């Protein structure tokens, strides 16, 4: 299993960013994919998840209405569209594969992509 995140960077408050996670080494459409973040000096925080089919999306309250998760099973890629970004969204964002088609636990992780929200 390989998960490669990209798309992080520096963005101003109120701005937008789209993260991507390219997956390989498993049958992508058979598994839920998640995004988890770690703010500087803080613990891990689950952000969002999407079922294997893409029909079910899940969001933490802290990002609901601002972030949108999606996936392209033909390209083995999951996305996180982040709008109305705030300073508190600054974090290392990890992509992870879950162990079930809808739900489950995170059994494989990428190395993360850094998002910095600052003026």
Task: Point out which residues bind another protein (CB under 8 A).
Answer: 34, 36, 43-46, 49, 58, 60-61, 94, 99, 103-112
Give least dist CB 77 to another protein, A.
18
Give least dist CB 111 to another protein, A.
6
Residue nearer to another protein on the CB measure, 26 or 46: 46
Place of tokens 């963005």: 11
DSSP at 61:
T
Residue nearer to another protein on the CB measure, 11 or 92: 92
**Closest C-alpha to 19, from 97, 106, 79:** 79
95 class by beta-carbon count within 10 Å (0-12 exposed, 13-18 middle, 19+ buried): buried
Residue nearer to another protein on the CB measure, 12 or 42: 42
């Amino acid at each position: 299993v390989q998960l490669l995140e990209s798309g992080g960077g520096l963005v101003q408050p109120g701005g937008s960013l789209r993260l991507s996670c390219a997956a390989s080494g498993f049958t992508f459409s058979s598994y839920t994919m998640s995004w988890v973040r770690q703010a500087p000096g803080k613990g891990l925080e689950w952000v969002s998840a999407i079922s294997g089919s893409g029909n079910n999306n899940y969001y933490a309250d802290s990002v609901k209405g601002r972030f949108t998760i999606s996936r392209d099973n033909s390209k083995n890629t999951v996305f996180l569209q982040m709008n109305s970004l705030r300073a508190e969204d600054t974090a290392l964002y990890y992509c992870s594969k879950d162990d079930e088609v809808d739900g489950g636990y995170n059994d494989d992780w990428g190395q993360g992509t850094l998002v910095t929200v600052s003026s």
